[in-house]
Amino acid sequence: MTAPFEQDPVWTYQGYTLDKGNLTTALVHLYRAEIARVNLWRSRLDTTTNWAVVTTAGAITFGFSSAQNPHFVILLVLLFVLIFLNIEARRYAYYSLWYHRVRLLETNFFAAMLAPPFRPAPDWGDALSDALLNPIFPISHWEAMGNRFRRNYAAILGVILASWGLKLAVHPTPTASLREVISRAAIGAAIRGEVSILVVLAIYLFLFLITLEGYRRYKKRGVPRRFEWQHRGPGWYKPQAMPHLAFIITTHKDAIASRLMKELGRGVTALEGVGMYTGELRDVLLCAVSDIQIAHVEEIVHTGDPDGFVVFTQANEVRGGHFKAQEPPS
């Protein structure tokens, strides 16, 4: 007698089969592996922040320990901290990628077991499969820099700025005027005090602007936006998945709409249309889908109505379901 899983296997490869119990076990192991990745990259974030804290503390201590120690030592540590911020932004992008996969498993596999109707979102498997096949960063490098600056580095760089100003104003002796403070900000004979102050203020203004813009994009978008810099990345980079609006012209609206709602879990809106060339009445179905569902939609239309066709347009923003903003915890 054939075993149940041999009658309806969920996965086959070169004679090997995988039943539902083994599939659950495989997903649990995948979840454990992704959690390990998240914890690894989270610890790397902490390591980079620790570098910045230790370097800042050491440089400030050195700068105030002797009257002969120059103020530009603190500016040097500012440069190092900016390098650490850049490194941490790259690590945060990787951390966001693994966190995205973990959230897909937690919300649609484990959470779906605990509350009625005990069903995951219809396309969560496609979303997880796409995240595994096409690993991409959910956020851009500049947005990651703004995020890390907002959460961690604003305080560190604030201490650096305050220490530099204090060094110029009171160490080794208090200054009598603003002009003297500006004079002390000079670095040798090559860089005037006005120039060094303007450069420092420009750096802080830039950090503030990318933080503000990154936070604005996070609040506004429904899904992560497509970024130009991703096209210049390594070979395994692909542009971020975007929402699409499908226009389906068909004479079998009920059958196609039923499959779209059942198999994809997406809402469908039906409109009446007229073919201007033939004068025949046609139904037009509108359905918002994710990038990974396009192939499934094409298959549904092709099998449901061989004479029908579908047009996909890229949507700027769609809210609800999987179309939502997500920011991993710090």
Indicate whether 258 and 220 sit together in one domain: no
Please check whether residue 292 lies inside any domain of the structure.
yes
Of 229, 226, 84, 80, the closest CA to residue 148 belongs to 84
Residue 104 has pLDDT above 50, yes or no: yes
Please check whether residue 282 lies inside any domain of the structure.
yes
DSSP 200-239: HHHHHHHHHHHHHHHHHHHHH-SSPPP-GGGGGS-TT--P
Indicate whether 163 and 135 sit together in one domain: yes
254, 232 Cβ separation under 8 angstroms: no
Per-residue model confidence as pLDDT tens digits over 106-138: 988 898 888 777 778 777 888 888 888 888 888
Burial of 253 (0-12, 13-18, 19+ CB in 10 A): buried
More confident residue, 257 or 244: 257
Please check whether residue 322 lies inside any domain of the structure.
no
Please check whether residue 324 lies inside any domain of the structure.
no
Please check whether residue 73 lies inside any domain of the structure.
yes
Please check whether residue 210 lies inside any domain of the structure.
yes
Indicate whether 19 and 58 sit together in one domain: yes
Please check whether residue 155 lies inside any domain of the structure.
yes
Q: What is the DSSP letter of 16?
A: E
Q: Measure the CA angle with vertex 103, ends 99 and 109; round to 5°.
A: 145
Indicate whether 215 and 144 sit together in one domain: yes
Indicate whether 259 and 143 sit together in one domain: no
Indicate whether 17 and 153 sit together in one domain: yes
Per-residue model confidence as pLDDT tens digits over 35-70: 999 999 999 999 999 999 999 999 999 999 988 899
Indicate whether 178 and 216 sit together in one domain: yes
Ranges 11-20, 81-90, 179-188, 219-228: which has the least confidence: 219-228
Whether the predicted model's global pTM rises above the 0.75 cut? no
DSSP 248-273: EEES-HHHHHHHIIIII----EEEEE
Indicate whether 228 and 249 sit together in one domain: no
Of 191, 153, 204, 203, the closest CA to residue 70 belongs to 191
The whole-angstrom separation of Cα 327 and Cα 10 is 33
Q: 3-class DSSP state for residue 288? A: strand
Helix (H) or strand (E) holding 136: none
Indicate whether 195 and 276 sit together in one domain: no
Of 221, 242, 253, the closest CA to residue 288 belongs to 242
Domain that holds residue 272: 244-314
Please check whether residue 323 lies inside any domain of the structure.
no
CATH of the domain at 281: 3.30.70.120
Q: What is the mean pLDDT of residues 238-261?
A: 79
Count up the domains in the chain and report the number. Answer: 2
